[in-house]
C-alpha cells in the first residue's frame, strides 16, 4: 500500500481570509480534531504582521501550544520575510514555507516584491537561519490571473536559481485553480528530469472542480506530499468568485478508497468538517464554495 502524506493547511490558508476573528480556543479545537483524525503534518499559521492578516495575530500562542502538546506532529508555518523567520526560530518551529510567485505581477500584488527582492530575502533567511527546513511555495505555478499560463520551460528555468541557492523542497501551487491533470504531469516530469534531487509537493485549489484530479495526477507522478484544507476553506482574493482549496475530507475519501495509506480516518475528518461549519462565521460556507475577502492576501 503506497503512503501519501496529506499536509493540512486549513489553520493557515483556510482561516486567513475570514474577517471575523476565530478564537484561539476554536482554532485549537479544530487542530486537535485534525490530529485525532490522523493528520501528522500541518501548516498551522503564518508569522506575518497582524496588520496584514489580523486573523493570524495569535500565531505565537497557537504554535507554542501545538509544539508543547503534540511533539510528534510536524508543524509548519509560512514566513514572509526575515522577521518571520526569526519568530519561527524563537517559537521553536523547525519547518517553514516561503512563498514566491512564478508570475512577476502576482508576486508584486501578493507580497509587494519583485522577483529579485524575493530571491534576495530568501537568501538572507537561509544564511541567517541555516537550521530552518524551508519549503519554497511556488505560487501561480500553473497559471496567473494577470499573465495567464506559462510554458513548462518557464517553471524549470525559474527554479534554477533557487535550487542553486540550496532549496531542497518545492510545493507547486495552483493559486487560482486553473491546472489540469495533463499540465500537472508535464510540469512534474520536467522538474523531476531537471532536478531529480528536489522534493516536490502540490497545493491545488478547487475553483473548477479539478482539485482531486490534479492532485491524483501528481501522486501518480510520484509525489507523496499533497496539501488541502478542511472543508475546502481558503482561496485567492485575486480570483473573484473562485472557490477554495481542495477539501481534505474529499481527498481522504478518494485516497483511502483507492487503497492509499493516508493514516487519516475519513469518518472523523468528515465529522470535524461539519463541526468547523458551526465555528466559522455564517456566510463563509456554501458547500465548498467559499466567500473570498478580496482585501486580504492569499500568499499562494
CA distance 178 to 204: 9
- How does DSSP assign 124-162, residue by residue? HHHHH-TTSEEEEEEETTT-BTTTB---HHHHHHHHHHH
Q: How far is CA 299 from CA 14, 109, 164, 186, in A?
A: 12, 10, 24, 24
| Cα–Cα distance, 75 to 232 (Å, whole number) | 20
> By the 8 A CB rule, do 245 and 234 touch?
yes
Cell of 231: 472543508
Per annotation, catalytic residue among 7, 66, 171, 236 = 236
CA nearest 14: which of 203, 267, 265?
Answer: 203
CB neighbourhood size of 230 (10 A): 28
Burial of 25 from C-beta contacts in 10 A (0-12 / 13-18 / 19+): exposed
Task: Provide the grid cell at 130.
Answer: 541555516
Measured between alpha carbons, how far is 213 from 292 in angstroms, rounded to an integer? 23
Annotation marks residue 236 as catalytic: yes
Catalytic positions, please? 236
Amino acid at each position: 500500500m503506497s503512503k501519501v502524506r496529506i499536509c493540512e493547511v486549513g489553520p493557515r490558508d483556510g482561516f486567513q481570509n475570514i474577517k471575523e476573528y476565530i478564537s484561539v480556543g476554536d482554532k485549537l479545537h479544530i487542530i486537535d480534531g485534525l490530529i485525532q483524525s490522523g493528520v501528522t503534518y500541518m501548516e498551522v499559521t503564518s508569522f506575518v504582521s497582524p496588520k496584514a492578516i489580523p486573523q493570524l495575530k495569535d500565531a505565537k500562542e497557537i504554535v507554542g501550544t501545538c509544539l508543547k502538546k503534540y511533539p510528534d506532529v510536524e508543524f509548519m508555518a509560512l514566513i514572509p520575510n526575515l522577521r518571520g523567520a526569526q519568530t519561527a526560530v524563537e517559537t521553536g518551529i523547525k519547518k517553514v514555507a516561503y512563498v514566491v510567485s512564478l508570475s512577476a505581477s502576482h508576486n508584486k500584488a501578493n507580497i509587494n516584491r519583485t522577483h529579485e527582492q524575493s530571491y534576495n530575502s530568501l537568501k538572507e533567511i537561509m544564511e541567517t537561519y541555516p537550521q530552518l527546513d524551508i519549503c519554497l511555495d511556488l505560487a501561480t505555478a500553473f497559471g496567473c490571473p494577470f499573465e495567464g499560463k506559462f510554458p513548462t520551460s518557464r517553471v524549470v528555468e525559474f527554479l534554477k536559481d533557487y535550487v542553486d541557492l540550496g532549496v531542497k523542497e518545492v510545493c507547486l501551487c495552483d493559486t487560482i485553480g486553473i491546472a489540469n491533470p495533463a499540465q500537472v504531469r508535464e510540469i512534474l516530469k520536467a522538474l523531476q528530469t531537471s532536478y531529480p534531487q528536489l522534493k516536490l509537493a502540490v497545493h491545488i485549489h478547487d475553483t473548477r472542480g479539478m482539485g482531486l484530479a490534479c492532485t491524483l495526477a501528481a501522486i501518480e507522478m510520484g509525489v507523496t506530499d499533497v496539501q488541502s484544507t478542511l472543508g475546502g476553506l481558503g482561496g485567492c482574493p485575486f480570483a473573484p468568485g473562485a472557490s477554495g482549496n481542495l477539501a481534505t475530507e474529499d481527498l481522504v475519501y478518494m485516497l483511502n478508497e483507492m487503497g492509499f495509506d493516508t493514516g487519516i480516518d475519513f469518518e472523523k475528518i468528515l465529522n470535524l468538517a461539519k463541526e468547523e461549519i458551526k465555528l466559522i462565521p455564517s456566510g463563509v460556507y456554501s458547500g465548498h464554495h467559499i466567500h473570498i475577502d478580496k482585501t486580504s492576501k492569499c500568499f499562494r
